[in-house]
Amino acid sequence: MASTIVNMPLNVGTIKGLDCLSHGKFNANVLPIRPSISSLPHRRMFVVKASTNDGPIKKLGISDAECEAAVVAGNIPEAPPVPPIPASPAGTPVVTSVDIKRRPRRNRRSPVLRSAFQETSLSPANFVYPLFIHEGEEDTPIGAMPGCYRLGWRHGLVEEVAKARDVGVNSIVLFPKVPDALKSPTGDEAYNDNGLVPRTIRLLKDKYPDLIIYTDVALDPYSSDGHDGIVREDGVIMNDETVHQLCKQAVSQARAGADVVSPSDMMDGRVGAIRSALDAEGFQHVSIMSYTAKYASSFYGPFREALDSNPRFGDKKTYQMNPANYREALIELRADESEGADILLVKPGLPYLDVVRLLRDNSPLPIAAYQVSGEYSMIKAGGVLKMIDEQKVMLESLMCLRRAGADIILTYFALQAARCLCGEK
């Protein structure tokens, strides 16, 4: 706290051996201590003020012993007066103070206290940045997701990753837009070692060896049917045959350098099968982030536009979870834990905070939440229409996911939010 010296009349004297008039370091009108030997009427002392506009205060050059002697002698330097009680507005009723022992507002009364007692933190390290990639060289805007693009894998992607790393986001997850000509009913392009995703992983790892790369393990970007699995002629999604393909896909991604493979398909038993396949190929170090509670949600629409991966028929309700179900998430949790998952994910995020908390309370594993495309686009639209403050709602929504129990958040806001947290505009 800044202080200043103000002259004021007091009955003080001089200390033996100290001549204020002749001492080079003192002003004759300023004496910081009360003398105990002789008296000199109407000498002055300093008063401490809370602030000053006169610049830094010069020290008076007296010793600690002299300061203490003054205080012992009763010459206590003055501090600013007790601030007045702020006036209430006219008409405020006069009431007797309520006898409340516990007043929680006491811990919220200033920014410093609120920050000190904040239970949840949010930092760029909590973000995983989902990035859409394609074979082209130009970045293509995604109409339903303002600010998001299909990035050219050799150019725009590398630049976007560099921007994210500059503000502390060093984890990404890749989603490919696969040419229609490479799609098939069995999704064989998913495990092509020279496919779009493996090539991209190799490129990024060559440029940024410490970048953490998550990959998506599912057939829908590669399927001519747009489903996460192989579709039988009667429309049934084949479970075990799909899992066989997913294992080959995960191994291909691990071979390219992926750090975390992320099965989002919701086939039964796929985590255990993928773990065994990775271990058999020497990729024991590669982690699995399982989409443990992935719901058949209507919030995915913009994402499917981004990848052109809408189902050609039907829906995904026979393998993704019913949005009405809560306890069922525990069944998926226990299965994924027992099969060797390293991270458990809930998707969507904000509408499913109860499920995030359920997993957090029932597993020691890290919990991830996916703030999906629909959540992102609604906040963006509300901001454009000036119905909400986009930045504040963005940060609040991410904080809510952390508060519910998410250790990491997959969010299209990763770069924008990290810039805000780092103080950039």
Residues designated as active site: 294, 347
Structure tokens at 236: 């049934």
In angstroms, the CA 154 to CA 151 distance is 9
Taking CA atoms, 329 is separated from 207, 240, 243, 352, in Å, by 39, 21, 20, 11
The CA distance from 252 to 278, in Å, is 10
Task: Report DSSP state, residue 99.
Answer: -
- Please name every residue paired with 288 in a beta bridge, in sequence order, or none if there are none: 261
In the block, tokens 């084949």 appear at: 238
Closest CA to 171 of 421, 410, 396: 410
Give the Cα separation of 396 and 418 in Å (integer).
Answer: 13
Nearest to 38 by CA among 18, 63, 22, 65: 18
CA angle 20, 24, 27 (to 5 degrees): 50
